[in-house]
Structure 1
């Protein structure tokens, strides 16, 4: 959104000091439970999923006795999901279509077209 507004040419008329601070506030305060814009370093996040191939079914759930489901559905190419909780169980129906980053470490690629699973442990510390 900020980029669209910057291209439209209107920011100069409303005062540069307020417009310069507004986009940063909008990015960090978003109420979306699964923000697609990474504003913090991925190393701090337990899990980041990026769909780099064709759309695929993804299930992410909290790995405890309750098993709360955080994501269940098809993620499209180009989508990124960030998760701030751990432990997590992750399943992608096409493991080759996703890039999985756990605590900043890119996981080895999985075979294309095959179901893949990952487990995100709670961070020790």
Structure 2
């Protein structure tokens, strides 16, 4: 009986880790973090002197987000959970969120005004 209970506990922990792990995202510079700090595996994001082109942090309810480049290639599509942070270095970008009021968004280090509408769109221009 103890062995069955141990297997249930280990299986439950593995399931929780699998569900709460990093989301499957395309693009090497997108990353998620549950601590709100985020991080980026791209070399350019390691520099503290330059903010990422796009920073998205979920501060409210989970929401569906789509990040794409102008040619239509989707870099990320999925539901971001509360506390997750994504960083992108690519430009230009288009971002659409089902519930923009749940997000904090910064473009080139400039915080964007909080969204009032449910469906919200942002454009990330190339760096000048």
TM-score, normalization by structure 2: 0.64
Aligned to 1:84: 89
**Partner Cα separation in structure 1 for residue 48 and residue 95 of structure 2:** 21
- Structure 2: state its 5+ residue gaps: 1-26, 33-37, 40-45
Aligned to 1:119: 123
2:111 to 106, 114, 117: 106
User: Which stretches of structure 1, 4 residues or more, deviate above 3 A after TM superposition?
Assistant: 39-43
**Partner Cα separation in structure 2 for residue 95 and residue 41 of structure 1:** 27
Is the 8 Å Cα contact of residues 42 and 48 (structure 1) preserved in structure 2?
Answer: no
- Structure 1: state its 5+ residue gaps: 1-31
**Partner Cα separation in structure 2 for residue 120 and residue 42 of structure 1:** 19
1:35 to 14, 19, 31: 31
TM-score, normalization by structure 1: 0.66
Deviation at 1:43, TM superposition (A): 4.3
2:52 to 45, 66, 72: 45
Cα pair distance change 1:67/1:80, threshold 3 Å: same
Count, aligned residues: 90
SS at match of 1:118: strand
Query: Cα RMSD (Å) of the superposition?
Result: 1.8
Cα pair distance change 1:61/1:50, threshold 3 Å: same
**Partner Cα separation in structure 2 for residue 102 and residue 45 of structure 1:** 8
